[in-house]
Amino acid sequence: MTVTLADVAARARVSPATVSRVLNGNYPVAASTRERVLRAVDELDYVLNGPASSLAAATSDLVGILVNDIADPFFGIMAGAAQTEISGQEGSGRAGGEKLAVVCNTGGSPERELTYLTLLQRQRAAAVVLTGGALEDPDHIAAMAAKLAKLADAGTRVVLCGRPPLPGSEAVVAALAFDNRGGGRRLTEHLLALGHRRIGYVAGPPERTTTRHRLESHRAALAAAGIDEDQSHVTVHGPYARRSGYDATLELLRRDPDLTAIVAANDTVALGACAALRDQGLRIPEDISVAGFDDLPFSVDAVPALTTVRLPLHEAGARAGRLAMGNEAPPPGGIATIGAELMARASTAPPRKG
């Protein structure tokens, strides 16, 4: 019922081998023959059998992009950029060397992360791009390192994007990490420069690298400014979600009503924080300043516009895509840190005198 290579071969009166070579274009075929084959392909509306092809050639055109939360533009932007870079290979006519770039949503679950990796391993994926902060659980790190090593062994190119390098894993083609520490430090320094001293912090889930890096750099900046009291009572952890920002902010206000600024783990959380503050009748930034992280597209449209740290998500994703395709030389040592730029906007201002 379905058309096979052999059918095409019969129609073009050549051998299956020749058809295969025309389709793959990696072996000389006379122009006249090629044309005859191509015509047969068109007439029969032939579609290559991917599994058969992958099996015989021991390679696949699947490229997986893993994200923590597909509904979050933070990941969407990176994934989209990577996917464009990977799929956009050749504008040249026939769907030849086309890669099938697909994104897989782990939902932040370590098990699903591993499961997806196994599934991609099954498919003998050509490459895998892992985005977003990693879990700090040692077991999971070990499992991931082992898995990635196995993937690399099987010829899959592994790229990390916006994720710190895996300790001891040379399996990876390249790791592009965001400078969360530098960005976090600059953000807090900005607040300090404005005169803030009592700063609440709405952190992400404690077990994520991103959370820790951002939080640690915040505290380091405070310490460097001579603020060395224990910060734990003005820190609340929660998921990277709007709701979490809302709830955490109410909690912080309860713990210390004299806070003059709130730093959020990311922009989404910051938006929740703003909502909570407004609901408490506080004005931003007159009564209290708010800052986020990531500079997602909506942040500039918040009212007031959100002070945040810009991460070049698009650029990083695109670069990861190119690395995955082997279209760009890996950075020295396979590790690159991507800058994070402070975007000082209207949501932060000097604290009220008093």
Binding partner of residue 15 among a second copy, DNA, none, CB cut-off 5 to 8 Å per kind: DNA
* Closest alpha carbon to 162 in 72, 263, 294: 294
Among 41, 44, 52, 286, binds DNA (CB under 7 A): 52
d(CA 249, CA 244) in angstroms, rounded, equals 8
Q: Rounded to the nearest whole angstrom, what is the least distance from the CB of residue 33 to DNA in the complex? A: 3
Report the half-sphere exposure of 277 (CA within 13 A, side-chain side): 30
CA–CA distance, 116 with 68 (Å, rounded to integer)? 12
Of the residues 100, 250, 335, 346, which one makes contact with a second copy according to CB under 8 A:
100
How many amino acids of this chain bind DNA (CB under 7 A)?
31
Per CB under 7 A, 95 contacts DNA: no
How far apart (Å, rounded) are the C-alpha atoms in residues 246 and 70?
22
Does residue 30 touch DNA according to CB under 7 A? yes
Q: Give the shortest CB-147-to-DNA separation in angstroms.
A: 18
Selection from DNA, a second copy, none that 139 binds (CB < 5 to 8 A by kind) is none
* 70 vs 227 by CB, closer to a second copy: 70
Q: Say whether residue 60 binds a second copy (CB under 8 A).
A: yes
Helix (H) or strand (E) holding 339: none
d(CA 71, CA 69): 5
Between β-strands 341-343 and 308-310, what pairing exists: parallel, antiparallel or unpaired?
antiparallel
Mask for 263-302, x = binds a second copy (CB under 8 A): --------xx-xx--x------------------xx-xxx
**291 neighbors 307 (Cβ within 8 angstroms):** yes
The answer to whether residue 142 forms part of the interface with a second copy (CB under 8 A) is no
Rg (C-alpha) for the chain, rounded Å, is: 25
The Cα 92–Cα 97 span in angstroms is 10
| Interaction site with a second copy (CB under 8 A) | 2, 45, 47-55, 60-62, 64, 69-73, 76-77, 79-80, 83-84, 87, 95, 98, 100-105, 107, 112, 115-116, 118-124, 150, 154, 242, 271-272, 274-275, 278, 297-298, 300-303
